[in-house]
Structure 1
Amino acid sequence: MASRKPQYDNSSITSLKGADRVRKRPGVIFGSDGLDGCEHAVFEILSNAIDEAKEGHGDLITVTRFLDHSIQVEDLGRGCPVDWNEKEGKFNWELVFCELYAGGKYGGGDDNYEYSLGLNGLGSCATQYASEYFDALIRRDGFEYTLHFEKGENVGGLKKEPYAGKKTGSTFHWKPDLDVFTDIDIPTEYYTDVMKRQAVVNAGVTFRFKNETAPGRFETTDFLYENGIQDYVKELAGEKSLTQPVFWQTERKGQDREDKPEYKVKLSVSFCFSNTVNIIEYYHNSSWLEHGGSPEKAAKSAFVSAIDGYLRQQGKYQKNESKITWNDIMDCLVMVSNNFSTQTSYENQTKKAINNKFVQEAMTDFLKEQMQVYFIENPFDAEKIGEQVLINKRSRESAEKARLNIKKKLTGNMDLSNRVQKFVDCRTKDAERRELYIVEGDSALGSVKLSRDAEFQGIMPVRGKILNCLKADYAKIFKSEIITDLLKVLGCGIEVNDKHAKDLASFDLMNLRWSKVVICTDADVDGYQIRTLILTMLWRLTPTLIRRGYVYIAESPLYEINYKEKTWFAYSNKEKDDIVAEIGADKKISIQRSKGLGENEPEMMWLTTMNPDTRRLIKVMPEDVEATARMFDLLLGDNLQGRKDHIAENGYKFLELADIS
Structure 2
Amino acid sequence: MTPSSEYTARHLSVLEGLEAVRKRPGMYIGSTDSRGLMHCLWEVIDNSVDEALAGFGHEIAVILHADGSVEVHDDGRGIPVDIEPKTGLSGVEVVYTKLHAGGKFGGGSYTASGGLHGVGASVVNALSARLDVQVDRGGKTYQMSFRRGEPGRFKDAARPGPDAPFEPFVNDSVLDVVGKAKRGVTGTRVRYWADRQIFTPDAKFSYDDLANRARQTSFLVPGLRITVRDERGLPGTPGAEGPHEEVFHHDGGISEFVEYLAIDAPVTDVWRLHGTGTFSETVPVLDEQGHSRIAEVERSCEVDVALRWGVGYDTALRTFVNIIATPKGGTHQAGFEAAILKVFRKSVEANARKLKVGNDKIEKDDVLAGMTAVLTVRLAEPQFEGQTKEILGTPAVRQIVSRVVEKELGAKLSSTARGDKNQSAVLLEKVVNEMKSRITARVHKETQRRKTALETSTLPAKLIDCRTDDTARSELFIVEGDSALGTARHARSSEFQALLPIRGKILNVQKASVGDMLSNAECAALIQVVGAGSGRSFDIDVARYGRVILMTDADVDGAHIRTLLLTLFFRYMRPMVEAGRVFAAVPPLHRVEVVNPGSKPNEMVYTYSDAELHRVLARLEAEGRKHKEPPQRYKGLGEMDADQLAETTMDPRHRSLRRVTIESAQRAEEVFELLMGSDVAPRKDFIVTGSGQLDRERIDA
Query: Normalising to structure 2: TM-score of the pair?
Result: 0.56
SS in 2 for 1:181: coil
Q: Deviations over 1:103-124 (max 9, x none)?
A: 11112xx431000101111111
Of the three residues 253, 257, 260, the one matched with 1:235 is 260
Equivalent residue runs for 1:107-118 within 5 Å? 107=106, 110-118=107-115
- Structure with greater Cα Rg: 1
Q: Distance in 1 between the 2:86 and 2:384 partners?
A: 30
Residue equivalent to 2:322: 285
Q: Per-residue deviation at 1:153?
A: 2.1
Aligned equivalents of 1:77, 1:48: Cα separation in 2? 10
Are the equivalent residues in 2 in contact too, given 1:269–1:335 (CA < 8 A)?
yes
Which of 222, 241, 248 does residue 223 from structure 1 map onto?
248
Corresponding position of 1:305: 342
Between 206-215 and 337-346, report the one with greater CA deviation. 206-215
Q: Give the CA deviation at 1:492.
A: 9.5
Q: What's the counterpart of residue 135 of structure 1?
A: 132
* Structure 1 residue ranges without an equivalent (≥5): 1-14, 414-428, 436-486, 496-507, 517-546, 550-620, 630-661
What is the Cα deviation at residue 150 of structure 1? 1.9
- Aligned equivalents of 2:326 and 2:117: distance in 1? 16
In the alignment, is the contact (CA less than 8 A) between 1:332 and 1:389 conserved in 2?
no
Cα distance in 2 for partners of 1:37, 1:178 equals 12
Of 368, 377, 387, the match for 1:339: 377
Task: Give 2:686's aligned residue.
Answer: none
Deviation at 1:32, TM superposition (A): 0.8
Residue of structure 1 equivalent to 2:311: 275
* CA displacement at 1:321 relative to structure 2: 3.2
CA distance in 2, matches of 1:292, 1:392: 24
1:222 is paired with a residue whose SS is strand
- Cα deviation for residue 236 of structure 1 reads 3.0
Instruction: Describe the SS at the equivalent of 2:307.
Output: strand
**Offset of 1:88 from its aligned partner?**
3.1
Report what 1:349 is aligned to: 387
C-alpha distance 270-515 of structure 1, shift in aligned 2 (>3 A): closer
Residue in 1 that maps onto 2:182: 165
Please provide the CA RMSD for this pair: 3.6
Q: Distance in 2 between matches of 1:336 and 1:390?
A: 23
C-alpha distance in structure 2 between counterparts of 1:386 and 1:359, whole Å: 28
Aligned counterpart, 1:294: 331
Quote the Cα distance in structure 1 between the aligned partners of 2:652 and 2:326.
58
Q: For residue 87 of structure 1, report the CA deviation from its aligned partner.
A: 3.6
- Return the letter of the residue paired with 1:248: L
What's the offset of the Cα at 1:164?
A: 4.1
Alignment pair present for 1:63 and 2:82? no
Secondary structure of 1:292's aligned partner: coil
Query: Aligned pair 1:244/2:273, yes or no?
Result: no
The answer as to 2:38 corresponding to 1:21 is no
Counterpart mapping for 1:383-462 below 5 A? 383-406=425-448
Distance 1:396 1:146 in 2: 62
C-alpha distance in 2, partners of 1:116/1:628?
Answer: 63
Contact 2:80 2:90 in 1 (8 A): no
- What does 1:26-37 align with in structure 2 at a 5 Å threshold? 26-37=25-36
Structure 1 pair 411–248 and aligned structure 2 pair: CA distance change class (3 A): farther
2-structure distance, mates of 1:628, 1:351: 54
Are 2:530 and 2:544, in contact at CA under 8 Å, matched by a contact in 1?
A: no
Q: 1:53 to 1:299 in 2, by over 3 A?
A: same
Q: What is the CA-CA distance between 1:163 and the residue it aligns to? A: 2.2
Letter in 2 for 1:220: E
C-alpha displacement at 1:207, in angstroms?
1.2
TM-fit CA distance, 1:293 = 1.0
Label 1:431 to 1:409 Cα distance change in 2 as closer, same or farther (>3 A).
Answer: closer
Q: Deviations over 1:258-298 (max 9, x none)?
A: 98532111111111111136421111110111011112111
Question: 1:397–1:98: structure 2 CA closer, same or farther, 3 Å change rule?
Answer: same
Q: Does the CA-based 8 Å contact 2:322-2:379 persist in structure 1?
A: yes
Aligned to 2:405: 367
CA contact (8 A) 1:492 1:512 kept: no
Amino acid at match of 2:121: S
Query: Is residue 2:121 matched to residue 1:124?
Result: yes
Paired with 2:148 and 2:453, the residues of 1 have a C-alpha distance of 66
- Equivalences for residues 47-126 of structure 1 within 5 A: 47-107=46-106, 110-126=107-123
Please give the alpha-carbon distance, in whole angstroms, between the structure 2 residues aligned to 1:75 and 1:111: 21
Distance in 2, matches of 1:86 and 1:494, equals 82
Query: Secondary structure at 1:94's aligned position in 2?
Result: helix
Provide the rounded CA distance (Å) in 1 between the counterparts of 2:111 and 2:64: 30
Q: Structure 2 CA distance, aligned partners of 1:355 and 1:412?
A: 57
Q: What letter matches 1:247 in structure 2?
A: R
Per-residue CA deviation, residues 437-494 of structure 1 (Å, 9 max, x unaligned), is xxxxxxxxxxxxxxxxxxxxxxxxxxxxxxxxxxxxxxxxxxxxxxxxxx9xx99999
Aligned partners of 1:66 and 1:282: how far apart in 2?
31
Contact 1:249 1:267 in 2 (8 A): yes
Change (3 A) 1:115 1:18: closer
Whether 1:206 aligns to 2:203 is no
Q: Are residues 493 and 383 of structure 1, via their aligned partners in 2, closer, same or farther at CA, if it must alter by over 3 Å?
A: closer
Q: Which runs of 5+ in 2 are unaligned?
A: 1-13, 154-173, 234-238, 284-294, 455-468, 475-493, 501-528, 532-541, 548-582, 586-645, 655-701
Q: Distance in 1 between matches of 2:278 and 2:347?
A: 29
Aligned-pair CA distance for 1:513: 9.0
Which of 345, 349, 362 matches 1:324?
Answer: 362
The residue matched to 1:311 in structure 2 has which SS? Answer: helix
Change beyond 3 A, Cα 1:90–1:411 = farther
CA distance in 1, matches of 2:307, 2:652: 60
Query: Is the contact made by 1:492 and 1:513 (CA closer than 8 Å) also made in structure 2?
Result: no
CA, structure 1 residues 623+180, in 2 after alignment: closer, same or farther (shift >3 Å)?
farther
Q: 1:330/1:116 Cα in 2 relative to 1: closer, same or farther (>3 Å)?
A: same
SS at match of 1:360: helix
Alpha-carbon offset, residue 302 of structure 1: 1.0
Measure, in 2, the Cα distance between the counterparts of 1:76 and 1:49.
Answer: 8
Q: What CA distance in whole angstroms lies between the structure 1 residues aligned with 2:653 and 2:35?
A: 52
Q: C-alpha distance in 2, partners of 1:106/1:627?
A: 68
Alignment equivalent of 1:266, drawn from 302, 307, 319: 302
- CA drift of 1:409 comes to 5.0
Q: 1:179 to 1:624 in 2, by over 3 A?
A: same
Q: How does 1:618-657 map to 2 (within 5 A)?
A: none
Q: CA 1:493–1:376 in structure 2 vs 1: closer, same or farther (change >3 Å)? A: closer
Query: In 2, distance between residues paired with 1:395 and 1:72?
Result: 52
Letter in 1 for 2:128: S
TM-aligned CA deviation for residue 357 of structure 1 = 1.7
Write the deviation string for residues 93-149 of structure 1: whole angstroms up to 9, x where unpaired.
332111111111112xx4310001011111111001111211101111222111112
Note closer, same or farther for the CA distance 1:100–1:410 as it changes in structure 2 (3 Å cut).
farther
Asked if the contact 2:276/2:404 (under 8 Å) is kept, the reply is: no
Residues 332 and 388 in structure 1, CA contact (< 8 A), matched pair in contact too = no
CA deviation after TM superposition for structure 1 residue 239, in Å: 8.4
- Match for 2:203 among 181, 184, 187? 184
SS at match of 2:16: coil
- Residues 411 and 367 of structure 1, relative CA distance in 2, 3 Å threshold: farther
Conservation of the 8 A alpha-carbon contact between 2:223 and 2:249: yes
> Aligned equivalents of 1:122 and 1:412: distance in 2?
69
In terms of mean alpha carbon deviation, does 40-49 or 229-238 score higher? 229-238
